[in-house]
Amino acid sequence: MDDDAVFKALADPTRRRLLDALHAHNGQRLHELCAGTDLTRQAVTKHLAILEAANLVATTRSGREKLHYLNPAPLNDISARWLAKYDQRQLNALATLKQALEDDRE
């Protein structure tokens, strides 16, 4: 796995939104991923190509249509390699504290 490609793919908020969309509903077509965004089909296609190069998105063909699927394995590998070496209990406590502080602001 190329960690640099995964980190590069995750660095862009548009690509993270595409991953979130696939997480919510896996197996989407390009026009479905474009819906609700102000992005052109060409822009979404470029972002999907970067996600595919990082192995975060897998595709299959169904006739003339191309279906996009989230591949969580690289995210799991990143998590295991980069987060597991830190004390997970402390990270969970910090995440809980952060969420509580953010909830208080609303």
| Domains defined along the chain, listed by start | 3-105 (1.10.10.10)
75: which 2 tokens?
């995210």
What pTM was computed for the model? 0.78
CB neighbours of residue 87 within 10 Å: 9
Amino acid, single-letter form, for residue 73: A
Exposure string over 43-78, b if 16+ CB within 10 A, otherwise e: ebeebbebbeebbbbeeeeeeeeeebebbeebeeee
Tell me 84's DSSP state: T
Separation between Cα atoms, residue 104 and residue 35, nearest integer Å: 33
Q: For the chain, which residues score pLDDT lower than 50? A: none
pLDDT for 86? 73
What's the pLDDT at 5? 94
Task: Please identify which residue in the block is written with the tokens 């969580």.
Answer: 72
Q: What does the pLDDT read at residue 1?
A: 58
